[in-house]
Amino acid sequence: GFTSKADPQGSGRITAQVIEHLERLALVDFGSCEAVARLEKAIAFADRLRAVDTDGVEPMESVLEDRCLYLRSDNVVEGNCADELLQNSHRVVEEYFVAPPGNISLPKLDEQEPFPHS
């Protein structure tokens, strides 16, 4: 595919397998060789973090980690707005959002259309 055209300065870690895997996880496609090259650059950029000594440092998830989470009382104060919410969907039937059939995997890369040349 397009891994052969990826940025020669990139890490070369974006194999066809990785591309397929990421596209399936993200449900977003690369769309072009440039996009793959951009990802390689993004990874190279992120690799700079290796130089930082983080021995014994705990990961920080939130700047508010030292505080107790406020819990409100478990009373229903709003809701019953199904009609309003259904209005924003393109496909509804009665009070259901209609989805296409599930449990069908995306076709594999080699079964798909090749990239349009951008």
Partner 1 sequence: CYYYFLQEILDTHDSISGQITPTELCQKCLSLIKKTKFLNAYITVSEEVALKQAEESEKRYKNGQSLGDLDGIPVAVKDNFSTSGIETTCASNMLKGYIPPYNATVVQKLLDQGALLMGKTNLDEFAMGSGSTDGIFGPVKNPWSYSKQYREKRKQNPHSKNEDSDWLITGGSSGGSAAAVSAFTCYAALGSDTGGSTRNPAAHCGLVGFKPSYGLVSRHGLIPLVNSMDVPGILTRCVDDAAIVLGALAGPDPKDSTTVHDPINKPFMLPSLADVSKLCIGIPKEYLIPELSSEVRSLWSKAADLFESEGAKVLEVSLPHTSYSIVCYHVLCTSEVASNMARFDGLQYGHRCDINVSTEAMYAATRREGFNDVVRGRILSGNFFLLKENYENYFVKAQKVRRLIANDFVNAFNSGVDVLLTPTTLSEAVPYLEFIKEDNRTRSAQDDIFTQAVNMAGLPAVSIPVALSNQGLPIGLQFIGRAFCDQQLLTVAKWFEKQVQFPVIQLQELMDDCSAVLENEKSASVSLKQ
Q: Which residues of this chain interact with partner 1, rule CB under 8 A?
A: 18, 21-31, 35, 38-39, 41-43, 45-46, 48-52, 54, 57-64, 67, 69-70, 72, 81, 84-85, 87-91, 97, 99-106
Closest approach of partner 1 to the CB of residue 47, in Å: 9
Q: Which residue, 4 or 74, is less far from partner 1 as judged by CB? A: 74
Rounded Cα distance, 55 and 80, in Å: 51
Q: How far is CA 65 from CA 15, 68, 84, 97, 118, in A?
A: 38, 8, 36, 37, 46
Of residues 4 and 84, the one with the C-beta less far from partner 1? 84
* Alpha helices (H) along the chain: 16-26, 33-46, 82-86
Is the CB of 9 or the CB of 43 nearer to partner 1? 43
Q: How far is the CB of 54 from partner 1 (least distance, A)?
A: 4
**Torsion of Cα atoms, 109 then 112 then 113 then 114, to 10°:** 10
Nearer to partner 1 (CB atom), residue 61 or residue 94:
61
